[in-house]
Amino acid sequence: MKTAERALERFIFFGRWFQAPMYVGLVLIGFVYSYKFAVELVHIVSEVGSLTEEAFMLGVLTLVDITMVANVMIMVIIGGYATFVSRLPLEGEEDKPDWLQRVDAGTMKVKLAASLVGISAIHLLKSFINIGNKDPEKVTMQIIIHAVFVVSALLLAVTELVLKKKAAIGFGHEGK
């Protein structure tokens, strides 16, 4: 019976590899997103003389938005793979991101939530800049959605802080 149990446990543990193709797909989409960034950059540069300040600012915010989404993708790809699939052999890499040394599922959730707040803020700022062309109800909805993201990120951060403090004082490990 122990052999069957051990085989089942190894099979379940092996199941984490179903995520690997997803991370590969996200890397490929990252290249596509880089292309979208380049197209937008070429558009802004080629039209800079004829763009109004508002249109130029919206174009720059679009580039910032694309970059922030790409940052989230990298966090999900590298952090998710390292947390849920397999360790990355990065010990000798001199340009290894600092945040990877402290990555765990809780930290990733907080970082992703903060990034989503930033992305939401960029979209809201774009709406404010272009407010004359926006439906007031849609802008109000964007403000509400942004507020929900902010509150959610704060609650995740507080929850993670409480859990880490409890772990640091040995909560749940009495007598050990």
* 68 contacts 122 by C-beta, under 8 angstroms: yes
Confidence of residue 176 (pLDDT cuts 50, 70, 90): very low
Cβ neighbours of 79 (radius 10 Å): 21
The pLDDT tens digits for 20-70 are: 999 999 999 999 999 999 999 999 999 999 999 989 999 999 999 999 999
Mean pLDDT of 144-161: 92
pTM of the model: 0.76
The pLDDT, as a whole number, for residue 169 is 81
Q: Rounded distance, CA 129 to CA 52, Å? A: 12
The pLDDT, as a whole number, for residue 84 is 86
**Cα-only R_g, the chain:** 22
Whether residue 171 is predicted with pLDDT greater than 70 in this model: the reply is no
Distances (CA, A) of 136 to 39, 143, 161: 30, 11, 37
Mean pLDDT of 133-141: 90
Sign of CA pseudo-dihedral 38, 64, 154, 164: positive
Mean pLDDT of 156-174: 78
Mean pLDDT of 71-89: 87
Q: Rounded distance, CA 102 to CA 9, Å? A: 28
Confidence of residue 6 (pLDDT cuts 50, 70, 90): very high
Confidence of residue 172 (pLDDT cuts 50, 70, 90): low
